[in-house]
């Protein structure tokens, strides 16, 4: 019996190759029929695809691969099933099924500049000394906490950062509005153009998520500057016919995952975020937290004009 068709793709940047142990690169489960597909990478430099539907489970092992050039460059990984055929592509290189490991291949990195920049603080020089009031000190401390959380791989630190983002942007009287009432700075958020996402360019996408932070893609031409409202409205997830925005992502992490409260999701957008956590992971990380890191970094970068205005006011008052 032919297998149901399925297509999965993501972008990966290995920190080392081959990995020291078996790792999950990507995992997805389709809501309509429960089909689950998992892509793993092993210390022998080989990808394995696990296909599971009901009681049927199969493993597809591909040829050993070595990477020539910088390992940690961004590469597209795609996996597709069509009737009785399975295909796996890494950075445009189609890999062959090779259960015996008799056909090793090499992937040549042609653009070393595609390597993501090292993770570092977005606002390394922000100083509490620029605060002109207790409110501004609270604002700066909150930004510092968000910046540190975005550097962390600890899920707890990231979940707690969602509460800070909610206080900054989403609450009825946001901390940002209270601080900016004095300075009236027009803040813009630099993001990858949401209209250029795969969901808008390719038909019949069952599930889709997108990281909006352009920092890892310095050569991208799909960068736009938007207002806070447009940033919060930007779509970051789509699953089961419903979508989740940046605002939904912050709210789900803060209101349902423990950033402020822990409980059931309250809105359709929050439900999409939590459902996505169930059906899709990348490098064993919850998708919501991967997306939240990007939201943290975009938000912090947008605060620079306001921090500069606070610094100028402090110097003028001395």
Return per-residue pLDDT of the chain as tens, 318 residues: 566 777 776 767 777 888 888 888 887 877 777 888 888 899 999 999 988 888 888 899 999 999 887 776 767 777 877 667 788 888 878 899 998 888 888 888 766 555 556 678 999 999 999 999 999 999 999 999 999 999 988 889 999 999 999 999 998 899 999 999 999 999 999 998 887 655 544 444 566 778 888 887 665 668 899 999 999 999 998 877 788 999 999 999 999 999 898 989 889 999 999 988 876 666 566 788 888 999 999 999 999 999 999 999 988 865
Residue 203 confidence (pLDDT) = 46
Residue 230 confidence (pLDDT) = 95
Kindly list the distances between the CA atom of residue 231 and the CA atoms of 182, 215, 226, in Å, as whole numbers in the listed order.
23, 16, 6
Give the number of residues written for the chain.
318
Spell out the domain ranges in the chain.
3-114, 128-317
Q: Name the CA dihedral angle for 212, 230, 122, 13, rounded to a multiple of 10 degrees.
A: 0
What is the b/e burial string over 174-189, where b = at least 16 CB atoms within 10 angstroms of the residue's CB? ebbeebbeeeeeebeb
How many other β-carbons are positioned within 10 Å of the β-carbon of residue 257? 25
Pair 117, 215: CB distance under 8 Å: yes
Please state the pTM of the whole predicted model.
0.73
- Of residues 98, 89, 80, the one with CA closest to residue 37: 80
Structure tokens at 265: 């999701």
Q: Name the CA dihedral angle for 205, 211, 214, 218, rounded to a multiple of 10 degrees.
A: -70
Residue 205 confidence (pLDDT) = 53
Residue 201 confidence (pLDDT) = 42
Residue 111 confidence (pLDDT) = 63
- Of residues 230, 248, 231, the one with CA closest to residue 239: 248
CA distance linking residue 46 with residue 11, whole number of Å: 17
The conformation of residue 119, written as its DSSP 8-state character, comes to P
Q: Considering only CA atoms, give the Rg of the chain.
A: 22
- Of residues 150, 163, 175, 70, the one with CA closest to residue 112: 70
What are the residue ranges of helices labelled H in 79-187? 134-150, 155-165, 175-180
Structure tokens at 185: 């700075």
Residue 121 confidence (pLDDT) = 92
């Amino acid at each position: 019996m032919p297998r149901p068709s399925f297509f999965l793709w993501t972008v990966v940047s290995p920190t080392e190759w081959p990995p020291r142990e078996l790792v999950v690169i990507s995992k997805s489960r389709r809501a309509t029929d429960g089909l689950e597909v998992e892509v793993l990478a092993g210390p022998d430099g080989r990808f394995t695809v696990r296909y599971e539907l009901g009681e049927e489970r199969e493993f597809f092992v591909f040829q050993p691969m070595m990477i020539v050039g910088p390992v940690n460059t961004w590469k597209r990984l795609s996996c597709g099933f069509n009737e009785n055929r399975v295909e796996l592509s890494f950075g445009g290189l189609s890999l062959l099924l090779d259960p015996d490991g008799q056909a090793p291949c090499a992937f040549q990195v042609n653009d070393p500049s595609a390597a993501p920049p090292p993770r570092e603080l977005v606002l390394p020089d922000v100083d509490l000394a620029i605060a002109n009031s207790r409110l501004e000190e609270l604002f700066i401390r909150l930004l510092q906490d968000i910046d540190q959380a975005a550097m962390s791989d600890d899920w707890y630190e990231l979940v707690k950062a969602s509460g800070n983002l909610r206080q900054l942007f989403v609450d009825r009287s946001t901390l940002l509005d209270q601080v900016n009432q004095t300075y009236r700075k027009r803040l813009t958020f630099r993001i990858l153009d949401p209209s250029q996402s795969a969901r808008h360019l390719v038909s019949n996408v069952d599930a889709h998520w997108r990281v909006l932070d352009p920092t890892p893609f310095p050569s991208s031409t799909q960068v736009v500057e938007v207002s806070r409202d447009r940033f919060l409205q930007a779509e970051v997830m789509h699953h089961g016919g419903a979508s989740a925005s940046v605002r939904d992502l912050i709210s789900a992490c803060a209101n349902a995952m423990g950033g402020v409260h822990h409980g059931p999701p309250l809105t359709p957008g929050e439900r999409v975020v939590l459902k996505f956590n169930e059906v899709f992971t990348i490098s064993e990380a919850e998708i919501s937290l991967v997306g939240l890191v990007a939201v943290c970094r975009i938000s912090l970068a947008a605060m620079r004009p306001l921090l500069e205005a606070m610094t100028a006011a402090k110097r003028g008052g001395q």
